[in-house]
Structure 1
Amino acid sequence: MTNIHEFITTTLNTALQPVHLQVVDESYQHNVPEGAQSHFNVTIVSSHFDGKRLIQRHRMVNELLAEALQGPVHALALHTFTLDEWEKRGGQVQPSPACLGGSKLD
Protein backbone atom coordinates (compact mmCIF):
# COMPACT_ATOMS: atom_id res chain seq x y z
CA MET A 1 0.00 0.00 0.00
CA THR A 2 1.90 3.03 -1.22
CA ASN A 3 -0.68 5.83 -1.27
CA ILE A 4 -2.67 5.74 1.94
CA HIS A 5 -4.75 8.81 1.07
CA GLU A 6 -5.92 7.11 -2.13
CA PHE A 7 -6.63 3.84 -0.29
CA ILE A 8 -8.77 5.61 2.32
CA THR A 9 -10.64 7.65 -0.29
CA THR A 10 -11.32 4.74 -2.64
CA THR A 11 -12.31 2.35 0.14
CA LEU A 12 -14.76 4.75 1.79
CA ASN A 13 -16.24 5.92 -1.53
CA THR A 14 -16.83 2.34 -2.64
CA ALA A 15 -18.29 1.01 0.61
CA LEU A 16 -20.25 3.97 1.95
CA GLN A 17 -21.17 6.03 -1.16
CA PRO A 18 -20.79 9.30 0.76
CA VAL A 19 -22.45 12.54 -0.28
CA HIS A 20 -19.38 14.26 1.16
CA LEU A 21 -15.92 12.86 1.83
CA GLN A 22 -12.83 14.77 2.86
CA VAL A 23 -9.59 12.95 3.61
CA VAL A 24 -6.76 15.14 4.89
CA ASP A 25 -3.24 13.86 5.46
CA GLU A 26 -2.11 15.73 8.59
CA SER A 27 1.17 13.85 8.95
CA TYR A 28 3.20 16.98 8.18
CA GLN A 29 1.93 18.49 11.44
CA HIS A 30 3.55 15.72 13.48
CA ASN A 31 7.03 14.56 14.36
CA VAL A 32 7.23 11.86 11.70
CA PRO A 33 9.51 11.33 8.70
CA GLU A 34 8.56 13.22 5.53
CA GLY A 35 6.01 11.28 3.49
CA ALA A 36 5.01 9.10 6.47
CA GLN A 37 1.25 9.13 5.70
CA SER A 38 0.56 8.32 9.34
CA HIS A 39 -2.02 10.88 10.55
CA PHE A 40 -5.36 11.40 8.78
CA ASN A 41 -8.48 13.43 9.39
CA VAL A 42 -11.60 12.04 7.70
CA THR A 43 -14.98 13.74 7.39
CA ILE A 44 -17.65 11.54 5.84
CA VAL A 45 -21.38 12.07 5.30
CA SER A 46 -23.29 8.95 4.34
CA SER A 47 -26.80 7.51 4.46
CA HIS A 48 -25.13 4.31 5.73
CA PHE A 49 -24.86 6.10 9.09
CA ASP A 50 -28.62 6.67 9.40
CA GLY A 51 -29.88 5.18 12.67
CA LYS A 52 -26.38 4.29 13.85
CA ARG A 53 -24.72 5.58 16.99
CA LEU A 54 -21.35 7.31 16.74
CA ILE A 55 -19.44 4.26 18.00
CA GLN A 56 -21.12 2.08 15.35
CA ARG A 57 -20.15 4.54 12.61
CA HIS A 58 -16.54 4.64 13.77
CA ARG A 59 -16.41 0.86 13.94
CA MET A 60 -17.71 0.66 10.36
CA VAL A 61 -14.96 2.98 9.13
CA ASN A 62 -12.26 1.29 11.22
CA GLU A 63 -13.23 -2.12 9.84
CA LEU A 64 -13.09 -0.81 6.27
CA LEU A 65 -9.66 0.73 6.88
CA ALA A 66 -8.27 -2.10 9.03
CA GLU A 67 -5.41 -2.81 6.62
CA ALA A 68 -4.09 0.75 6.83
CA LEU A 69 -4.67 0.95 10.58
CA GLN A 70 -2.49 -2.14 11.11
CA GLY A 71 0.36 -0.58 9.19
CA PRO A 72 1.22 2.95 8.34
CA VAL A 73 -1.73 4.84 9.89
CA HIS A 74 -0.99 5.87 13.47
CA ALA A 75 -3.87 8.32 14.02
CA LEU A 76 -7.27 8.59 12.37
CA ALA A 77 -9.60 11.42 13.34
CA LEU A 78 -13.15 10.56 12.27
CA HIS A 79 -16.08 12.90 11.76
CA THR A 80 -19.04 10.77 10.68
CA PHE A 81 -22.42 12.32 9.89
CA THR A 82 -25.79 11.58 8.40
CA LEU A 83 -26.92 14.07 5.74
CA ASP A 84 -29.35 15.66 8.21
CA GLU A 85 -26.62 16.11 10.84
CA TRP A 86 -24.25 17.55 8.25
CA GLU A 87 -26.80 20.08 7.04
CA LYS A 88 -27.60 21.14 10.62
CA ARG A 89 -23.88 21.81 11.17
CA GLY A 90 -23.73 23.90 8.04
CA GLY A 91 -21.18 21.53 6.53
CA GLN A 92 -18.50 22.41 9.07
CA VAL A 93 -16.21 20.48 11.45
CA GLN A 94 -13.68 21.70 13.98
CA PRO A 95 -10.08 21.66 12.74
CA SER A 96 -7.63 19.28 14.37
CA PRO A 97 -5.69 20.65 17.32
CA ALA A 98 -2.00 21.39 16.87
CA CYS A 99 0.37 18.54 17.58
CA LEU A 100 2.20 18.96 20.88
CA GLY A 101 5.11 16.78 19.78
CA GLY A 102 4.48 14.05 22.33
CA SER A 103 6.51 11.38 20.54
CA LYS A 104 9.76 13.22 19.88
CA LEU A 105 12.86 11.10 20.00
CA ASP A 106 15.96 12.67 21.53
Structure 2
Amino acid sequence: MSDVQQHIQQIVNGSPVVLFMKGTAQFPMCGFSGRAIQILKACGVEQPTTVNVLEDEGIRQGIKTFSNWPTIPQLYVNGEFIGGSDIMMEMYQSGELQTLLKG
Protein backbone atom coordinates (compact mmCIF):
# COMPACT_ATOMS: atom_id res chain seq x y z
CA MET A 1 0.00 0.00 0.00
CA SER A 2 1.40 3.41 -0.97
CA ASP A 3 1.86 6.28 1.50
CA VAL A 4 -1.15 8.06 -0.01
CA GLN A 5 -3.32 4.95 0.33
CA GLN A 6 -2.18 4.50 3.95
CA HIS A 7 -2.96 8.16 4.65
CA ILE A 8 -6.44 7.79 3.15
CA GLN A 9 -7.00 4.63 5.22
CA GLN A 10 -6.06 6.54 8.40
CA ILE A 11 -8.50 9.35 7.53
CA VAL A 12 -11.31 6.88 6.77
CA ASN A 13 -10.69 4.94 9.99
CA GLY A 14 -10.28 8.11 12.06
CA SER A 15 -13.90 9.29 12.02
CA PRO A 16 -17.31 7.64 11.80
CA VAL A 17 -18.39 9.85 8.86
CA VAL A 18 -15.85 11.03 6.27
CA LEU A 19 -16.67 12.86 3.06
CA PHE A 20 -13.97 13.34 0.43
CA MET A 21 -15.19 16.36 -1.50
CA LYS A 22 -14.25 19.34 -3.65
CA GLY A 23 -14.10 22.33 -1.32
CA THR A 24 -15.21 22.40 2.30
CA ALA A 25 -18.51 21.86 4.11
CA GLN A 26 -18.86 25.65 4.37
CA PHE A 27 -17.77 26.32 0.77
CA PRO A 28 -18.35 23.33 -1.53
CA MET A 29 -16.60 23.82 -4.88
CA CYS A 30 -18.95 21.65 -6.94
CA GLY A 31 -22.68 20.97 -6.97
CA PHE A 32 -22.30 17.28 -6.18
CA SER A 33 -20.17 18.00 -3.10
CA GLY A 34 -22.67 20.64 -1.99
CA ARG A 35 -25.51 18.18 -2.36
CA ALA A 36 -23.61 15.54 -0.38
CA ILE A 37 -23.17 18.00 2.52
CA GLN A 38 -26.87 18.92 2.42
CA ILE A 39 -27.85 15.24 2.52
CA LEU A 40 -25.61 14.63 5.54
CA LYS A 41 -27.08 17.67 7.31
CA ALA A 42 -30.59 16.41 6.55
CA CYS A 43 -29.57 13.14 8.22
CA GLY A 44 -28.48 15.04 11.33
CA VAL A 45 -24.72 14.91 10.68
CA GLU A 46 -23.74 18.51 11.41
CA GLN A 47 -19.97 18.16 11.46
CA PRO A 48 -18.82 15.38 9.15
CA THR A 49 -15.09 14.99 8.70
CA THR A 50 -14.41 16.43 5.26
CA VAL A 51 -11.32 16.21 3.09
CA ASN A 52 -10.90 18.84 0.39
CA VAL A 53 -9.35 16.89 -2.48
CA LEU A 54 -8.56 20.15 -4.31
CA GLU A 55 -5.87 20.86 -1.69
CA ASP A 56 -4.00 17.59 -2.26
CA GLU A 57 -3.51 16.13 -5.71
CA GLY A 58 -2.20 12.88 -4.21
CA ILE A 59 -5.43 12.34 -2.28
CA ARG A 60 -7.53 13.56 -5.22
CA GLN A 61 -6.14 10.79 -7.42
CA GLY A 62 -5.47 8.32 -4.63
CA ILE A 63 -9.04 8.24 -3.34
CA LYS A 64 -10.26 7.07 -6.75
CA THR A 65 -7.85 4.13 -6.58
CA PHE A 66 -8.61 3.52 -2.90
CA SER A 67 -12.35 3.12 -3.49
CA ASN A 68 -12.18 1.96 -7.10
CA TRP A 69 -14.72 4.75 -7.73
CA PRO A 70 -14.02 7.39 -10.43
CA THR A 71 -15.81 10.43 -9.03
CA ILE A 72 -15.84 12.76 -6.04
CA PRO A 73 -17.53 13.25 -3.57
CA GLN A 74 -17.10 9.94 -1.79
CA LEU A 75 -18.76 9.09 1.52
CA TYR A 76 -17.36 6.66 4.08
CA VAL A 77 -19.32 5.57 7.14
CA ASN A 78 -17.56 3.56 9.86
CA GLY A 79 -14.67 2.85 7.50
CA GLU A 80 -16.89 1.55 4.71
CA PHE A 81 -17.23 3.17 1.28
CA ILE A 82 -20.86 4.13 0.68
CA GLY A 83 -20.76 5.97 -2.66
CA GLY A 84 -21.10 9.36 -4.29
CA SER A 85 -23.87 11.97 -4.20
CA ASP A 86 -26.31 10.02 -6.43
CA ILE A 87 -26.07 6.93 -4.23
CA MET A 88 -26.32 9.12 -1.12
CA MET A 89 -29.51 10.69 -2.49
CA GLU A 90 -31.06 7.30 -3.32
CA MET A 91 -30.18 5.97 0.14
CA TYR A 92 -31.49 9.15 1.77
CA GLN A 93 -34.80 8.91 -0.07
CA SER A 94 -35.22 5.27 0.97
CA GLY A 95 -34.28 6.02 4.60
CA GLU A 96 -31.30 3.67 4.41
CA LEU A 97 -28.72 6.44 4.88
CA GLN A 98 -30.38 7.80 8.02
CA THR A 99 -30.40 4.29 9.53
CA LEU A 100 -26.75 3.75 8.63
CA LEU A 101 -25.68 7.11 10.09
CA LYS A 102 -27.60 6.55 13.34
CA GLY A 103 -26.05 3.11 13.78
The TM-score with structure 1 as length reference comes to 0.27
The TM-score with structure 2 as length reference comes to 0.28
Larger Cα Rg: Structure 1 or Structure 2?
1
> Which one has more relative contact order, counting CA pairs under 8 Å at least 6 apart?
2
Richer in helix (by share): 2
